[in-house]
Structure 1
Amino acid sequence: MKSNPCFLSFAAVTTALSGAIALNLSLPNQAAFAASVTQKTAVILDDDGSQDGMTAWAYMLGNPQFDVKALTLSQGIARPNIFVDNVEGMLGRLNITGIPVGIGRPDPLAGNNEFPSFIRDASDTFWSPFVTLPDSAPSVERRNAAELIVETVKDSPSPVAILATGPLTNIAEALRLDPTIVENISVVQIMGGAVFVPGNLPAGQPALSGRWRRYFARTL
């Protein structure tokens, strides 16, 4: 039986996440994410509504080392204005309240490189029936993503780390709104690749090799 390319197994996602965590701990420029028990790391989590991104969010939301200030949704796998309902349900299932959620624009800043509809349609339902969310959950504060990033960074008494695991649209728009936020950003960690090409692989082509590139910067 062929596997559906639209879905990632929980085991595969968890394994990938564990590998990413191990890699992070082995890299020198991780002071901003290496919080002590007495001093949490203030962080904004930005993702495009991916399965692995939501696994990472669940991990960091449950980790006492992190003070998650805001969650922001970028365009990409999910449609932010629809997926925000799923984030609300996920937070309800995790019994987490008080964290605002930013909704990004539905399309790229330029061009028309978007995920196929069948992938985005699956994210609309939070990959049901593979994952189930509660029928109701406490309402979350919904904001414009770029504005939420700017406000969160400027209002934080300590420098804020940003973990961006999707397109960087929200961060770009936040910098356009207020470039001075770089003064209170401790680190921006992204997961990305294929910068100057249309995409990673054509549909149906076997992946003979894979490449992940990470970039760590103290300022933008």
Structure 2
Amino acid sequence: MQYYRENKLTITGGKLMSVKKMILDVDTGVDDAMAITYAVADPEVELIGVLSSYGNIDAQRASDNALKVLHLLHADNVPVFIGETDPLDHKYQRIAINAQIHGENGIGDVELTETETSAESQNGVDFLIESAKKYGKDLTVVATGPMTNIAAAIKKDHDAMKMVGNITIMGGALTVPGNVTPVAEANIEQDPVAANEMFTSDLEITMVGLDVTLRTLLTKKETKQWRETNTEAGEKMADIVDFYIDVYDDIYPELGGCSLHDPLAVGVAIDPSFVDYLHMNIMVTTEHDAYYARTIGDKARLNDPETNVNVAVTVDKERYLKVFMDNFLTLFNKLK
């Protein structure tokens, strides 16, 4: 496999393909670490930046975790930016279940090598807007944390964000229950106001929610293959994800593995055919009642002829998992 990032082209399997410029907006927990790895590994992606947010962990530690994961993957050249550190209408406070699921340090309590690289001084929202202006439709943005950075960028420069070619988010639950309340998914629940502002804007959004991520699972059978590469990256990622799998075994034993929430969003941003969609107008309930942070069809726009949210509702999990594993194993073996 040869990478020709400077020419925006990749040769893989004898095929010449264009490379997608991608920004990841993460709150670096375990599945965000897998999302970063997927983006670094996939030959169709040029990861031009990682934007950190709060959520699974606070924004500063999310940034530190992202830097360490990139260092583990020999991708220190990817810049990391810190975006919004609090939701739009309240102060961030880490919820107990995030420490349970992701560990105290956010990455399964696994210690990764410190890197001399630090986060960029430029604000992450400004970097996002600047990149939107520079790359336009050639830019893909994947948000796997709260939607605060996207909402802030829309408010600051709507026209720039309207230029972005692909905005895919991991968040929401339309046809299944939430994972932090009966109706709310975690990323939406962190900042429902921001999520509602994003969904009710005129930007086209692809929503990869619990509807599909709960069906896309990883087990220790797969992480064992990472260990068998005999690489630091393979072994450390297996340690991180095995922690996650063990937690899932305790709190979601019916699933039979850990959900690939965030890396599935990256996969769908690259190859939309992994999932099937409902095309809808979505809103988020922001009132502090039993339906707080619910993602649901927007009654006010029910009869609008145009829709702006592509909601993933079914997934080709076998094909996705094969691509996921091929990408990870190819990358880990390359790092020997």
SS in 2 for 1:124: coil
- Report how far residue 156 of structure 1 moved: 2.1
1:49–1:123 Cα contact (<8 Å) kept = no
Closer, same or farther: CA 218–41 of 1 in aligned 2, 3 Å: farther
Measure the CA separation in 1 of the matches of 2:126 and 2:34.
25
Contact 2:65–2:107 (CA<8 Å) still a contact in 1? yes
- Distance in 1 of aligned mates of 2:130 and 2:210: 34
Q: Distance between the aligned counterparts of 1:46 and 1:93, measured in 2? A: 19
CA contact (8 A) 2:139 2:166 kept: yes
Does the aligned pair in 2 maintain the 1:101–1:141 contact within 8 Å? yes
* Helix, strand or coil at the partner of 2:31: helix
Matched, 1:147 2:126: yes
Correspondence for 2:107: 126
Number of the residue aligned with 2:332: none
CA spacing shift, 1:211–1:61, aligned 2, 3 Å:
closer
Cα displacement string for residues 100-121 of structure 1 (whole angstroms, at most 9, x for unaligned residues): 2121222211145744156359
* Matching residue within 39, 46, 58 for 1:79: 58
Which residue matches 2:80?
101
Q: Deviations over 1:163-196 (max 9, x none)?
A: 111211001111112111134211211121159x
Q: Is the 8 A contact 2:132 2:163 kept in 1?
A: yes
The one-letter code sitting in structure 2 at the alignment partner of 1:58 is T
Contact 1:42-1:66 at 8 Å conserved across structures: yes
Structure number with greater CO (CA < 8 Å, separation at least 6) is 1
Q: Is the 8 A contact 1:189 1:215 kept in 2?
A: no
Query: Contact 1:71–1:102 at 8 Å: present in 2 too?
Result: yes
Query: Following the alignment from structure 1 to structure 2, what is the Cα–Cα distance between the partners of residues 89 and 178?
Result: 31
SS at match of 2:17: coil
Does structure 1 residue 57 correspond to structure 2 residue 36?
yes
Alignment of 1:68-217 (within 5 A): 68-111=47-90, 114-117=93-96, 119-120=98-99, 122-124=103-105, 126-128=107-109, 131-156=110-135, 159-193=138-172, 200-201=179-180, 211-212=210-211, 217=308
Alpha-carbon deviation of 1:161? 1.2
As a proportion of its length, which structure holds more helix? Answer: 2
When structure 1 is superposed on structure 2, of 98-107 and 116-125 the one drifting more is 116-125
The 8 Å contact of residues 74 and 103 in structure 1, kept in 2 or not, is answered as yes
Cα distance change on mapping 1:218 and 1:182 into 2, 3 Å: farther
SS, match of residue 185 in structure 1:
coil
**Counterpart secondary structure, 1:167:** coil
Residue 88 of structure 1 contacts residue 139 of structure 1 at CA under 8 Å; is this kept in 2?
yes
CA contact (8 A) 2:56 2:106 kept: no
Task: Say which of 35, 39, 42 aligns to 2:21.
Answer: 42
CA contact (8 A) 2:173 2:211 kept: no
Unaligned runs of 5+ in 1: 1-35, 204-209
TM-score normalised according to structure 1 size: 0.66
Deviation at 1:125, TM superposition (A): 5.7
Larger radius of gyration: 2
Residue of structure 2 in register with 1:3 after alignment: none
Between 1:49-58 and 1:102-111, the stretch displaced more is: 102-111
In structure 1, distance between residues paired with 2:106 and 2:92: 22
Deviation string for 1:4-41 (max 9, x for gaps)?
xxxxxxxxxxxxxxxxxxxxxxxxxxxxxxxx843101
- Aligned 8 A contact 1:77 1:123 in 2: no
Equivalences for residues 13-32 of structure 1 within 5 A: none
Contact 1:99 1:140 in 2 (8 A): no
- Measured in 2, the distance between the counterparts of 1:218 and 1:100 equals 29
**Cα distance per residue 1:17-70 (max 9 Å; x no partner):** xxxxxxxxxxxxxxxxxxx84310111111222211210111111111011121
TM-score by length of 2: 0.45
Letter in 1 for 2:211: W
Give the conservation status (yes or no) of the 8 Å contact 2:25–2:50.
Answer: yes
